[in-house]
Amino acid sequence: MNNNKAIVLSGIDGSGKTTQAQLLRVYMKRIKNKRVKTTWIKGNHTIAYILYKLLPSNHIVLFDNNIHTHTLFRSRLYKIWIIIEVLGIIPKILLDIELPLLSRKIVIADRYLLDSIVYLITATNKINITRSLLVRTLLSIMNKNSKTIVLDIGLKELFRRKQGFRKYKHLVAFKIALYRVLARVLELDVIRADDRPLIVFKKIFKIIGYRP
Question: Is residue 1 domain-resident?
Answer: no
Helical ranges in 58-108 per DSSP H: 78-93, 99-102
**CATH code for position 185:** 3.40.50.300
- Residue 61: per-residue pLDDT: 53
Range of the domain at 199: 6-208
- Residue 179: per-residue pLDDT: 97
Q: One-letter amino acid identity for 183?
A: A
191 three-class SS: strand
The Cα–Cα gap between 134 and 22 comes to: 31
Question: Is residue 25 domain-resident?
Answer: yes
Question: Is residue 50 domain-resident?
Answer: yes
The contacts of residue 197 (CB under 8 Å, 6+ apart) are 16, 19, 20, 23
The Cα–Cα gap between 138 and 130 comes to: 10
Model confidence, pTM: 0.87
Question: Is residue 15 domain-resident?
Answer: yes
Counting the structural domains of the chain, the total is 1
The Cα–Cα gap between 191 and 106 comes to: 21
CA dist 117 to 29, 68, 179, 182, Å?
30, 13, 10, 10
How many other C-beta atoms can be found within 10 angstroms of the C-beta atom of residue 53?
11
109 three-class SS: strand
Query: Which residue numbers in the chain have pLDDT < 70?
Result: 1-3, 42-49, 51-53, 55-75, 210-212
The Cα–Cα gap between 5 and 105 comes to: 10
pLDDT tens-digit series, residues 81-122: 788 888 888 888 999 999 999 999 999 999 999 998 998 888
Q: How far apart are the first and last CA of the chain?
A: 15
